[in-house]
Amino acid sequence: MGNYRPEIPELRKILAFNILDTLETAGFAEIKQRRRVPPDPFDTKERVFTRDVTEDGRLQVKVFTTIVEDEVRNSGKDAIRVCATWLSSEDDRSRGVVAVSRVHRTGDIQAICERMLSRMREVWGRVKTLERCSCGSPKFKSKKGNMVCADLCWRRERRRRWQNMTRKKARDGKVSHWAAVRAE
């Protein structure tokens, strides 16, 4: 299909078209990025595609395409990124559970798409062997570097213990906090 040259707008469009075609064939669908006001520094205008690994859609493989509108960005440095994320029910945020794998946009256009597809398959495969928490959710590497539950299930447990304690206080007539009289 010919070598990709980022300085040629026509080739940026052709590469974008082929990336989109590869993603669609693989069953990936575009997600609309959540826009924050004011925009946060990690906000990206590039198009992002996902495919659900689990039926509830909380575990997904994600592809950050470097495509803005209908062409790939004119920068040789940035790469297509593939990763897997888990959406926590505790704080409604996605966390990376399979580290980002980069696809550099150099060489033949078809070869770039094939490399992207093979990274997508790799990430998909690694999802199956993720370390799991006792609650069943996958773990992710925290900022401190240890593996913790991507669903933040310990917060649920802490809340449950706290509720039990306040209920017991209410039952015992030791109402010392407004929460203790909150309905069961």
Kindly list the residues in this chain that would bind Zn ion in the complex (CB under 5 A): 133, 135, 137, 149, 151, 153
Minimum distance between the CB of residue 148 and Zn ion, rounded to whole angstroms? 8
Task: Using alpha carbons, select from 16, 18, 26 the residue that is nearest to residue 1.
Answer: 18
Nearer to Zn ion, 20 or 149 (CB): 149
Per-residue DSSP letters for 114-127? HHHHHHHHHHHHHH
CA distance 86 to 151: 7
CA angle 56, 49, 63 (to 5 degrees): 105
DSSP state of 51: E
Nearer to Zn ion, 156 or 167 (CB): 156
Minimum distance between the CB of residue 153 and Zn ion, rounded to whole angstroms? 3
Minimum distance between the CB of residue 145 and Zn ion, rounded to whole angstroms? 18
Nearer to Zn ion, 109 or 130 (CB): 130
Minimum distance between the CB of residue 151 and Zn ion, rounded to whole angstroms? 5
CA distance 1 to 116: 16
Nearer to Zn ion, 41 or 136 (CB): 136
